[in-house]
Amino acid sequence: MAFFPLALFLFIGCAAAQLSTNYYTSACPNIFSTVKPVVQSAILKEKRMGASVLRLFFHDCFVNGCDGSLLLDDTANFTGEKNATPNKNSARGFNVIDDIKTAVETACPGIVSCADILAIAAQDSVVILGGPSWNVKLGRRDALTASLSGANNNIPAPSMNLNDLTSKFSAQGLSTTDMVTLSGAHTIGFARCTSFRSHIYNDTNIDSSFAQSTQSNCPLTSGSGDDNLAPLDLQTQYIFDCNYYKNLINKKGLLHSDQELYNNGSTDSQVQTYSTNPVQFKSDFAAAMIKMGDISPLTGSQGEIRKNCRVVN
Can you say how many angstroms the Cα of residue 128 is from the centroid of all Cα atoms in its chain?
16
Helix (H) or strand (E) holding 192: strand 190-192
Identified catalytic residue from 36, 55, 59, 256: 59
Measure the CA–CA gap between 94 and 304, rounded to whole angstroms. 19
Burial of 213 (0-12, 13-18, 19+ CB in 10 A): middle
Question: Is the sign of the CA dihedral 90, 91, 94, 97 positive or negative?
Answer: positive
Determine the 3-state secondary structure of 24 from DSSP.
Answer: coil
How many angstroms separate the CA atoms of 124 and 132, rounded? 9
**3-class secondary structure, 231:** strand
Annotated binding residue 106: no
How far from 85 is each of 3, 89, 107, 167, CA to CA, in Å? 52, 9, 36, 19
Q: What letters, b where the CB count within 10 A reaches 16 and e where it falls short, cover 76-102?
A: eeeebbbebebbeebbbbbebbbbbbe
Q: Tell me if 241 is assigned to a ligand binding site.
A: yes
Task: State yes or no: 199 annotated in a binding site.
Answer: no
The answer to the question of whether 65 is labelled as a binding residue is yes
The reply, when asked if residue 156 is annotated as ligand binding, is: yes
According to DSSP, the residues that pair with 110 across neighbouring strands are none
Q: Tell whether residue 26 is among the known ligand binding residues.
A: no
Active site annotation includes 59 = yes
> Does residue 300 have a known ligand-binding role?
no
* CB 82 within 8 Å of CB 97: no
Annotated binding residue 81 = yes
Is 181 annotated in some ligand binding site? Answer: no
98 is in an annotated binding site: no
Binding-site annotation, residues for heme b = 186
Binding-site annotation, residues = 60, 63, 65, 67, 69, 81, 156, 186-187, 233, 236, 241
Binding-site annotation, residues for Ca(2+) = 60, 63, 65, 67, 69, 81, 187, 233, 236, 241
Q: Residues with catalytic annotation?
A: 59
